[in-house]
Amino acid sequence: MRNLLDFKKFCENYRKIKYKKIGILTNHSFCDKNLINFADFLIENNFNVKIIFSPEHGFFGTEQMEEKVEDSFYKNVKVKSIYGDKLEPEDDDVKEIDILIIAVPDNGSRYYTYKWSMMKMIEKCSKFNKKIIIFDYPNPLNGTHIEGPLIQKGYESFVGFYSIPVRFGLTIGELAIYLNKEFKINAEIEVFKIEGWKRSFYFDDIDFPFIMMSPNMPDFETALLYPGMCLLEGTNISEGRGTSKPFKIFGADFIDPFELLKRLNAPAVSKPREIEGVNFKPVYFKPMWNKYKGKVCGGLEIYVTDKNKLKPFKMGLKIIKAIMDLYPDKFEFKNPPYEFEKEKMPFDILAGNSYIRKMLEEGAEIEEIEKIWERELEEFDEKRRKYFLYNH
């Protein structure tokens, strides 16, 4: 098995900082090939870890979506939550350290909040002139494909503080230096590069374990579907939370799964299926919590057949449109609050704009909506290439 996250090499490279006051932004899932946690490795190798900052879900990933995380201790090191009453570290906690090490995984989608906790830490470290070392992590959805709209001004939120597309095709280290430069944050950032990752690699192309990043992100295929299926969080359709297959199963108590299957499998003009890269299986399910708790729902389970043909964000829009067309009187876009946003529609902050929702409500075709963001996506693609740390 390839040693993608080489903790020993990291410690050798940064042995000069061993006795400095170190803060780490991390959680339980940042592990090497032997399933050793990074924080454990630093502590056991006598690095002077003064504080651990934990993102959403907490250090051990015990808290569910939008649940506030409390401060705690781990191996006599204080663990400070930056997903609770505040979404950024306290000034005094940052002043206390000399160096911040960022070691968090990412699932390759803009909505995933760990990257925004990272950027809040970077902003605060810039304010107090603290050096940042980022232990890079591969983009599970590869470093070539990008998809979806960028964020329009006024739609920034904790599912997207800075304007990037839904699928952005950068490692977490590349993303940090891109945002640091393009948005003039001016932090001192150094990235510890990983070995054995190529831009064309999806996570299942790497001989490395996919560790459950958060309570509803158990495997690579879930991460692959997430850029589209997370959009359901902004609707009254269950995204499968409360089942054993979140983001793979979706539905509602008013959906006939066979009717929906027929709609989504209808041939399109120029291709054999409405949505390429996946198959759907009709299911009934009963969520144990979240939307439709304890109620029988009809819906579909998604099976990926070709990850290279799949456009997950477009798939999510196609699914929503199909349900809107079939059940116009029962489908709803949810009202706020959502992810600490109290005014804007949840779907809008996920999409990064309001025009997608409005066009869906007006009956527009997905291909028509898709054309609107094509130009800005091309411009982003050109910009991001300047920040590639891995060129193959």
Q: Provide CB contacts within 8 A for 165, sequence distance 6+.
A: 110, 146, 147, 148, 149, 150, 373, 377, 380
- What does the pLDDT look like over 97-145, one tens digit per residue? 999 999 999 999 999 999 999 999 999 999 999 999 999 999 999 999 9
Q: How is the chain split into domains, by residue range?
A: 7-208+381-387, 220-353
- What does the pLDDT look like over 301-314, one tens digit per residue? 999 999 999 999 99
The residue ranges of DSSP E strands in 187-234, in sequence order, are 189-192
- CB of 148 closer than 8 Å to CB of 373: yes
When pLDDT is cut at 50, 70 and 90, the band that residue 61 belongs to is confident
- CB of 252 closer than 8 Å to CB of 292: yes
Question: Tokens 């609770």 label which residue?
Answer: 84
Dist. CA 47–CA 40, nearest whole Å: 10
Mean pLDDT of 34-62: 95
Chain length of the chain: 392
Residue 180, CB half-sphere, CA atoms under 13 Å: how many? Answer: 26
Looking at residue 2, what is its pLDDT?
60
Mean pLDDT of 266-273: 50
Looking at residue 270, what is its pLDDT?
42
Question: Tokens 């054309």 label which residue?
Answer: 371
| Same fold? 7-208+381-387, 220-353 | no
* DSSP states along 15-83: GGGTTS-EEEEE-TT-B-TT--BHHHHHHHTT--EEEEEE-TTTTTT-S-TT-----EEETTEEEEESS
* CATH 3.90.1150.140 applies to domain 220-353: yes
Mean pLDDT of 258-275: 72
Q: Is the dihedral of CA 27, 32, 37, 43 positive or negative?
A: negative
Domain 7-208+381-387, what architecture? Answer: 3-Layer(aba) Sandwich (3.40)
